[in-house]
Each structure stands twice: as C-alpha cells, then as structure tokens.
Amino acid sequence: MNVVETQQPVSSLPIYHHAIDWDALYRRYPVPDVFEKTRWRWSAEQIRAFQNEQFLDLMQTSWRNGFYQRRWKAAGIEPGDIRSIDDIGKLPTFDSDDIKKDQQENPPFGLINGNVRQQLTREPVKVQTSGGTTGKPRPTMYGPLEWEMNGLTMARVLYICGMRPGDIIQIPHTCSLGNAGWCAYKASHDYLGALPLTTGTGVVTSSRRQIEIAVEWGTNVWYVRPEYSTQLAKVAREELNFDLRQLKTKFLGCGLGPDTDGAFASQIEDLWGCPVYDMYGTHEMGMGSFECRYKDGMHFMEDCTYFEIVDVETEKPVSDGTVGNMVCTILHRRTMPMIRFNLRDLTKIVATDRCQCGSCFRRMQKMLGRSDTMVRIRGVSVWPQACLPAIRTDPRTTGEWLCVADRLNENGVVRDEMTVRVEVRDDAGSWDGIAEAIGKRLHSDLGLRINIELVKEDALMEWSNRGREGKPKRILDRRFEKK
C-alpha cells in the first residue's frame, strides 16, 4: 500500500514555494554560474534594453501604490508621460525621511508597503528594517520574489569573488531585523552549496569562540563587518596566540564604506592574509555594488538596480566622474517599490568600459560618505567619513575615530570647532608627533584646520560598534545642544 496519499486536497495556505514561478525567475535573473557566463558579459546596449523593459513593467504596477500615486500626481505626472527609462528624470526622487513621514501618517508600515495583512493571505511577506541607530527603524516589506532576489544577488557577488560549493562561510551578523546576515545565509545555503555558519555578532558568539569555530570547522570565507574583522584579529593574537593568516581564508566580504584609498582594506588584508572585497548595500536596496577580483571600482548590479548619480542640491544628473548622491531604482521590487530613492550616499562613476573581469556593469568609486551627515564648519563642508584615510594610514592608530563639533561662545563671538578623537594602539609606544601628523594630513584632506585629541585604545568603543549590530557613528554634533 502507498503510504503517501495519492489524492491530496489543495492547500489554501500562502506556501512560499508556490508563490514563485521558479523557472521564470531564473530565466529573468540567472543563478550565479549561469549569470557569470551570460548577463555579466552583456554589452552596455543589452543592459540598457533589459533595464528599460523591466522599468516599464515596474512603472505600470507602481501606479497602484498609494505612496507613488500621490507623489507623482503632485508632480503633475500622468501614466503616459514615462515612455522609456530615458524619462526617469521626470519622476521626483524621495529619501528615507519621506518613508518615515509616510509611515508616521499611515502607521505602521506606510502606504509605500501596500496592504501587508491582505498580501499575507495570498503570499508570505518578510520584513527587514534599517539599523535603527537613530530614531525608529524603517520597515521594508519583501514579497517572495524580492526576498529570493535578496539571496540571489548576494550569491552572484560571492560567486564572482570566488566562492564555490564545498566552501564554509562564517557570517558574524545576527539574523534579526537587519538584512546582511540573512542575505549571506540565503546566498550561500540556497545557491552556492556553501556551508553557512550563522554565528551572529560578537554579542551572540564571543570573538574567541568565533575563532575557535573557524579553526575547528574550517571556515574559508567570511562575510563580516570590517571593524569586527580587526577585532577578531586582535582577539586571536592576544587571547589565543593565533595568527589569522593560518586560516588560509579565500576572501573576506565587507562593506568597507568610504575607504577611498584602500588603506583600510590593506590593513585587513595584512591581518588576514587574503583579499578583502568591498560590497555596498542597504536594507532598502539590497546588494547595490561590489568589487570583482580586479578591485578596480565597484560594479553596480545593473540588471537588478538602475543607478543615477545626481547633484546633491539640484538633483540633476551629473556627468561620469563627478561626485553626487546615489539614486536607485530597483527593477524587480513590487511589494515596496523603490523608484528614484535618494540614498544620500556620495560617490562617482569611475568606469563604463569593459572591466578585466569581462563585465560592462558600470563601476563606481568606493562610497565617499553620507551627504546628510555632512557638517558645515566655518563655511567648509566636512564629511566625517573623509577622515578615514588620514586615520587608517597611520599604523599607530586603531583606525577608529569620532568627529566632535562644538560651538564656542566667547564674549559673544560664536565659533564652531571640530575635534577629531583618535584611538591610539596600546602598542604604539610614544604618542609624540601623532596628533601633529594626523592634523597635518586632515588639514590637507579636508581643507580645514581641526583639533586632534588622542584617546586610548577602545575608548571609542561606544561609537564604533565593533562586534555589534549597526554602523559606526563618526559624528557627535554638540553645537545645538542646550547648555
């Protein structure tokens, strides 16, 4: 007798596997090895044609989204106005403040996320949020296809960087409301035949234990926050008398941030004895851009996201090579569409020709910092992140810093001052000359004379977020505090 029933009733539950037409998905967005041989090598014209087709489909469905409907109508746009991706500049941009406002006015998820409860009766929905270091976290809803794309895009990146079946990847990110850990887990587990060690951050699994697991189980790839990778090296050296280079790691995937001269990457590569590949993404965007093995700029994931670089103030497109804000349109998102989202992250396009890796996917410079954390000190715009090269190239520092802006009021004269607190390594020896050297470099990098305050190793732990969730905080603006 057959123990499995041959006649089963049809389920009415929103089963994940049934919510996706898998073959259609992989034809439209090929899996990593197929992708690497095909789309990754497309000409710029082929990429543009695909983007155009996906964009027009996105526009059609997004007119039903209340958030966009309101904004586009207010801007005087009619459905027929957008005939191709060349018209995208007619649509207004928006940023995270607009999402916050929408979610305050239409709690809890905002018009932009549609009717979540209703959608849940038809298909599964996953929610991820921003880090939530400032204010309430902003929820982003992912329908099944978008959730799958989260893992698939990351898998393509890891594959291009050299990950293959049989590898063991350690992921010291907590799979909580943030996106990073989940993406790496899905990518390695669902697409690459790699074993994901989802150890969580240093709070969940101590740094010492992270290293012991890596040694015992044979971790050979890491997806890790860069600050934490230096902490792991320190713990290995000091507590376990172990040199991480003995792990024979293939590569580290990190979101390096504004490491424009590569000093931070080199520091980590020295500690680990392997390449570090920069990857840039946000929870709202997913994986946006990444380094291939030639490390000559960061490729956009062109078939998933359409990127524009626009002027910080006028929002007009800037020419290649000019710094501006990144604006992204995610071509496959439908649950929470992202159409001309201004990330307020600064970068510029550095290459549009074919890379040595074989791809024409355009390349951007490493991210320069956020335009909205910019502070104006005595008429000069300063991005706290721009301090990075000066701090990281001095081997006596731990690479950690915090900018503190103060407003001095002396006899009625108001003057803004910037002080950079810099962590000095315990084994740096004498502190003589450190402040002068860094001050000089910063003066030339930023065009502003600023004060340097040296502090002991780990004194900035509270801000740098090493081993914890959340990005490091680099600016403490005390100018407008009530005294």
Identify which of residues 357 and 437 has a Cβ nearer to Zn ion in the complex.
357
Choose among 121, 134, 192: nearest CA to 162: 192
Residue 383 neighbours by CB under 8 Å, 6+ apart: 258, 346, 368, 369, 370, 371, 373, 374
Give dist(CA 343, CA 373) in Å, integer.
12
Tell me: cis bond preceding 108? Omega within 30 of 0 counts.
yes
Structure tokens given for 104? 């305050």
Question: Which of these segments, 48-56, 239-247, 337-345, 349-357, binds Zn ion (CB under 5 A)?
Answer: 349-357
Identify which of residues 55 and 280 has a Cβ nearer to Zn ion in the complex.
280
Number of residues binding to Zn ion, judged by CB under 5 A: 4
Choose among 362, 328, 321: nearest CA to 342: 328
**Rounded to the nearest whole angstrom, what is the least distance from the CB of residue 36 to Zn ion in the complex?**
11
β-strands 168-170, 195-197 pairing: parallel
Identify which of residues 25 and 357 has a Cβ nearer to Zn ion in the complex.
357
Identify which of residues 343 and 360 has a Cβ nearer to Zn ion in the complex.
360
Question: Which of these segments, 13-21, 117-125, 256-264, 352-360, binds Zn ion (CB under 5 A)?
Answer: 352-360
**Rounded to the nearest whole angstrom, what is the least distance from the CB of residue 294 to Zn ion in the complex?**
5
Give dist(CA 324, CA 308) in Å, integer.
9
Q: Do 217 and 168 contact (CB within 8 A), yes or no?
A: yes
* 3-state class (DSSP) for residue 302: coil
> Binding string, 355-374, against Zn ion, x = CB under 5 A?
x-x-----------------
Identify which of residues 297 and 384 has a Cβ nearer to Zn ion in the complex.
297
Interface residues for Zn ion in 276-315 (CB under 5 A)? 292, 294
Query: Taking CB under 5 A as the rule, does residue 161 contact Zn ion?
Result: no
Q: Do 391 and 404 contact (CB within 8 A), yes or no?
A: no
β-strands 251-254, 221-223 pairing: parallel
Interface residues for Zn ion in 187-226 (CB under 5 A)? none
Question: Which of these segments, 86-94, 354-362, 392-400, 411-419, binds Zn ion (CB under 5 A)?
Answer: 354-362
**Rounded to the nearest whole angstrom, what is the least distance from the CB of residue 248 to Zn ion in the complex?**
25
Identify which of residues 358 and 447 has a Cβ nearer to Zn ion in the complex.
358
Identify which of residues 295 and 471 has a Cβ nearer to Zn ion in the complex.
295
**Rounded to the nearest whole angstrom, what is the least distance from the CB of residue 356 to Zn ion in the complex?**
6
**Rounded to the nearest whole angstrom, what is the least distance from the CB of residue 296 to Zn ion in the complex?**
6
The angle subtended at Cα 381 by Cα 377 and Cα 382, nearest 5°, is: 80
**Rounded to the nearest whole angstrom, what is the least distance from the CB of residue 443 to Zn ion in the complex?**
35
Question: Which of these segments, 230-238, 253-261, 353-361, 399-407, binds Zn ion (CB under 5 A)?
Answer: 353-361
Identify which of residues 357 and 454 has a Cβ nearer to Zn ion in the complex.
357
Identify which of residues 35 and 142 has a Cβ nearer to Zn ion in the complex.
35
**Rounded to the nearest whole angstrom, what is the least distance from the CB of residue 186 to Zn ion in the complex?**
24
> Binding string, 389-418, against Zn ion, x = CB under 5 A?
------------------------------
**Rounded to the nearest whole angstrom, what is the least distance from the CB of residue 357 to Zn ion in the complex?**
3
Give dist(CA 476, CA 465) in Å, integer.
14
Which H helix or E strand runs over 50? helix 44-62
Which H helix or E strand runs over 413? strand 413-424
Instruction: For the beta carbon of residue 170, count every other beta carbon within 10 angstroms.
Output: 26
Identify which of residues 111 and 357 has a Cβ nearer to Zn ion in the complex.
357
Identify which of residues 363 and 474 has a Cβ nearer to Zn ion in the complex.
363
Structure tokens given for 318? 């800037």
**Rounded to the nearest whole angstrom, what is the least distance from the CB of residue 234 to Zn ion in the complex?**
32
β-strands 475-477, 397-410 pairing: parallel
* Phi, psi values for residue 482, rounded to 5°: -75, 130
**Rounded to the nearest whole angstrom, what is the least distance from the CB of residue 125 to Zn ion in the complex?**
35
Identify which of residues 355 and 422 has a Cβ nearer to Zn ion in the complex.
355
Identify which of residues 127 and 357 has a Cβ nearer to Zn ion in the complex.
357
Q: Do 336 and 113 contact (CB within 8 A), yes or no?
A: yes
**Rounded to the nearest whole angstrom, what is the least distance from the CB of residue 257 to Zn ion in the complex?**
20
Give dist(CA 171, CA 186) in Å, integer.
11
227 Rama sector, left if φ>0, alpha if ψ -120 to 50, beta otherwise: alpha
* 3-state class (DSSP) for residue 185: helix
Give dist(CA 471, CA 134) in Å, integer.
11
Half-sphere exposure of 345 (CA within 13 A, CB side): 21
**Rounded to the nearest whole angstrom, what is the least distance from the CB of residue 46 to Zn ion in the complex?**
17
**Rounded to the nearest whole angstrom, what is the least distance from the CB of residue 38 to Zn ion in the complex?**
16
Q: What b/e sequence results for 142-169 when a residue is b if at least 16 CB atoms lie within 10 Å of its CB, and e otherwise? A: bbbbbbbbbbbbbbbbbbbbebeeebbb
Residues that bind Zn ion in the complex, under the rule CB under 5 A: 292, 294, 355, 357
